Amino acid sequence: MKPENVPSLLETALALPGLSAEAEALRPLARDVARTRALGARPLRVALVGSTGAGKSTLLNALAGAPLAEEGTTRPTSRQAVAYAPHGADLGRLQQVVGQVVRYTPQEGGRWTGQVLVDTPDLNSVAVENRDRALDVLAECDVAVVVLHRGSVAEARPNQALQPFARRRALLLVLNHADQLGAQARATLSAQAARVAVEALGAATPPPVFVVSAARARGGQPGDDWEALVAALRRFAEEAVAAQVRGDNSARGLAELQQRVAQGLDATRALEATVQAALTQGLDTARPALAQDFDVRLQAAAAQLQAAVRRAAAARLSGPAAWGLRLSAWSGGGLLGGTLLARASLPAGLLVAATGAVLDSVQARTRARATAERMSGGGEPLLEAEARAALTPARAAAQRQGVEPAVLGLPTPEAWAATLERTRAAAWRDVEGFGVEQAVARWWRWARVLLVPVVQLPLLVLLGDVAFRTLRAYLLGPLLDVRYYVNAAALALVWTAAGTLLAGLSLAGVATRARRRGAQRFAEGLAAAEASLQAEVHGALALPLAAAETLLAEGTAVQAGAVSQPAAGAVAAP
């Protein structure tokens, strides 16, 4: 992973609930990691920060050997940040956040060569905008020279302001106004300043402390640690040192970023585990009621299922028995009544048979439509109630953590109810289609051995006898009376009815097996829908989780590119 990829990875990882609240703080940190490494060995940006009266502007003028910054006794003097940069130095975003840019020409052998100096507003200014400007400028700089005086060493306000940057910036502490301090006070304040940098600011190691008098140095009387301070700052002009400082700054920033991402990742995983456990509990609670409801609906659809079984069985038989299996009570009764009436009145018999067929068709259509609506219709209170019961524990667990359920892949109860409706409809289509065919195929393996001889052969014998008698009467005479044919037809009808009844009795239990398959298919479909839901919840944050894990797993490789020595080691303590 390259440092320049850190911001984009973080942006993806910020979709994690455990990190989204810190987006405002983490985005600048990620940009800082990438920007710091990208600058490489270009001139370092050194920010002078401190409290009111610390003497930042005086120190800058003394370092530059020229009156670059305005000095004064009125406080605060520095109301805007001013960058002092060599001609041609690229300031990037720094040029946008400072109030003024003053260019200078580095002098060979001078006190200061090549670096970018930034005089910032006072950190303890009562004007909040001054402090904010100082922090914005510091974010674009590589080294913070913290200018202190007797009263600001342990001051809380600048310490709090500097804390976020001290952990990932090279620090130098300058105890100014040394001409106003005795030897004991210098030693005590120096030790205290180094301790505050570690304990209050969070610096990795105690930074060097330089005791100076900027006012005397500006007047040509440096003394104290002035030459050591100048030597330390001049070393920052070396390209190798600049690259080292920025590498260490980037590594520190990345370490802080990784720590906060790890915390957010742990919080997100804990939330995921809680939500998934609640979802499993809710689904387990709703499942029995859904299965019972589907079984009740299958029982209510028994007539439709039985009709489907008889049609499938009839497709495997042939002849009148197959026709009889397709008849319902209405059509069968009408046909039988029509046959009996036909002996007295053929038109009356035909009318009764036709009426039975019409009633059969109407009943079949009405029953099929009602069953379809019962199995696939939506907006039912029970489905919506069970969907709500299944999802409420998980949705409540997410909302307690201030996370929208949709972020974790949890659907609304209405959407889950629609999924349950589709699952139920699919199970019914399966049982009405393949389930019936499978059950009838099992029945046919033994039924064809019994039904064909008992039902089909007698009809074939009767048909052969009628054909033989008719042919003989035609050839030899006399012709057969019509009553013979009526009696033969009646006998065939009676035998067909008997065969149909026998076939229907043999189908007992076939519809029950199909119904059991339907219950099984619904259970399997429900389990698949639940598994899909849980997979969706598990994978809802897959991309941001992967980005966060990449930031943690490969961050070490980025840090390995930085020099292992701390940036403060680039300068020597006095």
- Looking at residue 569, its pLDDT comes to 42
| pLDDT surpassing 50 at residue 560 | no
Q: Round to whole Å and give the CA distance between 97 and 282.
A: 54
- Looking at residue 277, its pLDDT comes to 94
Contact 121, 23 (CB under 8 A): no
| pLDDT surpassing 80 at residue 528 | yes
| pLDDT surpassing 80 at residue 459 | no
Q: How many CA atoms lie within 13 A of 74 on its CB side?
A: 4
- Looking at residue 368, its pLDDT comes to 59
Within 8 A by CB and 6+ apart from 84, the residues are 60, 64, 68, 69, 102, 103, 104, 116, 117, 118, 119
Q: Which two tokens stand for residue 108?
A: 């060979």
Nearest-5° angle of CA 226, CA 232, CA 238? 145
Query: Alpha-carbon dihedral of residues 252, 258, 263, 267, nearest 10 degrees?
Result: 160
Tokens 């060979």 sit at which residue?
108
- Looking at residue 567, its pLDDT comes to 44
Q: Which two tokens stand for residue 557?
A: 């490789």
| pLDDT surpassing 90 at residue 524 | yes
pLDDT winner (highest mean) among 22-36, 372-386, 482-496: 22-36
Using alpha carbons, list the distances in angstroms from residue 35 to 32, 194, 243, 251, 270.
Answer: 5, 28, 12, 12, 33
**Sign, CA torsion 572/120/35/541:** positive
- Looking at residue 355, its pLDDT comes to 60
Q: Indicate the burial class of 347 (C-beta count within 10 angstroms; 0-12, 13-18, 19 or more).
A: exposed
Percent of the chain whose pLDDT exceeds 90 = 17
**First-last CA distance in the chain:** 39
Contact 170, 143 (CB under 8 A): yes
Report, in angstroms and rounded to the nearest whole number, the Rg of the chain calculated over CA atoms.
Answer: 46
Could you tell me the pLDDT band of residue 393, with boundaries at 50, 70 and 90? very high
Three-state SS for 292-321 is HHHHHHHHHCHHHHHHHHHHHHHCCCCCHH
Contact 502, 455 (CB under 8 A): yes
Q: Round to whole Å and give the CA distance between 287 and 181.
A: 80
- Looking at residue 534, its pLDDT comes to 94
Mean pLDDT value across the chain: 78
Q: Which two tokens stand for residue 574?
A: 């006095």
Tokens 């130095």 sit at which residue?
89
Within 8 A by CB and 6+ apart from 232, the residues are 172, 208, 210, 571, 572
Q: Which two tokens stand for residue 311?
A: 């049609």
